[in-house]
Amino acid sequence: MTTDPDALEAARRDRSGHAAAERPLAVVRAASIDDVRATMRIASETTTPVVTQGALTGLAGAANAGGGEIALSVADMTRILDVSPDDQLAVVEPGILNAALNEHLATHGLWWAPDPASREISTVGGNIATGAGGLLCAKYGVTRDAVLGVDVVLADGSLVRMGHRSVKGVTGLDLTSLMIGSEGTLGVIVGATLKLRRTVPGDVCTLTAMFPSVREAAAASSAVTASGVEPAIMELMDHASLSAACGVLGLDAPTSGASQLTIQTDGPAATAEAESIADILRRRASEVRVTRDRAEGEELLRIRRAMHPGMASLGTTLIEDVSVPRSRMAEMFDEIARVERDHGVRIPTVAHAGDGNLHPNFIFDGEEVPPGIWEAADDLFRAAIRLGGTLTGEHGIGVLKSRWLADELGEKQWQLQRDIKNVFDPQGLLNPGKVFAPRDELLQHP
Ligand SMILES: Cc1cc2nc3c(=O)[nH]c(=O)nc-3n(C[C@H](O)[C@H](O)[C@H](O)COP(=O)(O)OP(=O)(O)OC[C@H]3O[C@@H](n4cnc5c(N)ncnc54)[C@H](O)[C@@H]3O)c2cc1C
């Protein structure tokens, strides 16, 4: 445990741009399940709130620890306890980084599919607690599809092992699923049994296509989805995000309005699938490039990977995360353009187009998100919900979106979810004020 001012200061903030108002009481760096259990026992005896932290790369303020709270980091619990190639599973501690796990699994010809863009810097426990997604989700699933079980320390310090090592298992309620995406509000994940895949054999083909407008790029991606071909990656960049990424890479600026799709196919049918996709794209795009060369493919994807530095070059960014049915993406881009006009704000947007998950990036000056940006975000969230979508595809609710939770869930389900939280955590010690903020606290911006 430490009360070092630098450690306390660091525990106040994740990568959302939002920080807790005050420093936490202490940071506990757990090395074992026993350390976590002891911390929770002391917390419940002294009614001290606890905020579990992984690598603090979250984008919803969910891991921010504040005044009167203990920050409980599990980032040092990094052991791989078991890898079973025959059963295609691994048992790990929660603090291992996603990329470090996958580097080890590759030696067994295996991989864990969830691939957030933060995989080099985020923990498996954090990926589970946020229900993380990534570029490959449309074909290979999200974190929810890749977890067989979790070991959880509850608020009173007791240890519960949920789930199973078998492929099937329907004994009782599915508490493992409940833990996925629970953002540290129900318990501390101290172990996970992960469902693995064998390394995909065959080629990787990469395509890029340029479109005269983002609407046409979105319509083309919907046409690819509707054709039944399953690309591993399908990423869309609107003109503003493409220009910013090209800018930081020193590449020529795209022509006015131009938007881009970057698509990758893999597996034994990669080449045939890339050809079918290219046929669909050529009907709409001004330019289509296809390569089977992996290095050249990585080079094409480099522009998409430069999105975060590209946004940083424009100003401070509120990175948002709505999801809509894939057939409605073009309409969502229309809504984003309307919100930009109505509120006088800039919202460069990228999308995991294969699964309808958009990241509108609200650009502003200064440190704190100004009220005008929240008003624009409010308008945009409501538009996503109107289109049959959701407030968050992969980043979670945290503190930043709790005021919209009841709008999407409806009063009855919102109360049901709060009741479930109370069953797990009757003293309200785990991550208080996150996700399920009390109704009367929801009227203020975070
Ligand atoms: C550059 C960048 C790119 C990103 N790209 C993506 C992306 O493509 N897809 C995506 O989904 N996200 C992305 N993120 C967001 C972030 O990386 C993910 O949400 C990630 O899963 C968080 O992991 P973490 O270890 O940093 O967790 P933290 O930020 O430390 O915690 C996140 C939440 O999980 C809880 N938590 C953490 N560990 C545990 C545990 N062991 N038990 C219980 N609760 C726990 C915390 O209390 C908090 O509520 C990105 C972030 C950055 C900075």
pLDDT for 355-367, tens place per residue? 999 999 999 999 8
Best mutation site among 97, 123, 130 for ligand 1, i.e. most ligand atoms within 8 A of its Cβ?
130
Best mutation site among 122, 136, 318, 323 for ligand 1, i.e. most ligand atoms within 8 A of its Cβ?
122
Is residue 132 within 8 A of residue 141, CB to CB? The reply is no
> How many other CB atoms are found less than 10 A from the CB of residue 23?
21
Confidence of residue 443 (pLDDT cuts 50, 70, 90): very low
Kindly state whether residues 92 and 189 are assigned to the same domain.
yes
| Residue 275 included in any domain | yes
Instruction: Give the 3-state secondary structure of residue 266.
Output: strand
Q: Which two tokens stand for residue 428?
A: 């309200």
Phi, psi of 211 (to 5 degrees): -125, 150
Kindly state whether residues 194 and 89 are assigned to the same domain.
yes
pTM: predicted TM-score of the whole model, two decimal places: 0.95
pLDDT in tens, 168-211: 999 999 999 999 999 999 999 999 999 999 999 989 999 999 99
Is residue 43 within 8 A of residue 1, CB to CB? The reply is no
pLDDT in tens, 22-80: 999 999 999 999 999 999 999 999 999 999 999 999 999 999 999 999 999 999 999 99
Q: Which amino acid is at 193?
A: T
Kindly state whether residues 137 and 88 are assigned to the same domain.
yes
CA trace torsion 187, 189, 191, 193 (10° rounding) = 90
Ligand 1 neighbourhood includes 130 CB (under 6 angstroms): yes
CATH number at residue 224: 3.30.70.3450
What percent of the chain has a predicted confidence (pLDDT) above 70? 98
Structural domain count, the chain? 4
Confidence of residue 85 (pLDDT cuts 50, 70, 90): very high
Residue 116 Cα to chain centre, angstroms: 6
Ligand 1 neighbourhood includes 65 CB (under 6 angstroms): no
Ligand 1 neighbourhood includes 74 CB (under 6 angstroms): yes
CATH number at residue 64: 3.30.43.10
Tell whether the model's pLDDT for residue 442 goes beyond 50.
no
Ligand 1 center–CA 125 separation, angstroms: 8
| Residue 276 included in any domain | yes
Ligand 1 neighbourhood includes 125 CB (under 6 angstroms): yes
| Residue 396 included in any domain | no
CATH number at residue 145: 3.30.465.10
Ligand 1 center–CA 66 separation, angstroms: 18
Q: Which of 38, 73, 108 is the last residue of a domain?
A: 73
**373-382 as b/e: b if 16+ CB within 10 A:** bbebbbbbbb
Ligand 1 neighbourhood includes 16 CB (under 6 angstroms): no
Only one residue has tokens 């954090």, namely 126
| Residue 156 included in any domain | yes
Ligand 1 center–CA 117 separation, angstroms: 11
pLDDT in tens, 401-422: 999 999 999 999 999 999 999 9
Kindly state whether residues 38 and 85 are assigned to the same domain.
no
Q: Which domain holds residue 23?
A: 5-73
Ligand 1 center–CA 392 separation, angstroms: 13
Q: Give the H or E element holding residue 390.
A: none
The Cα 93–Cα 78 span in angstroms is 5
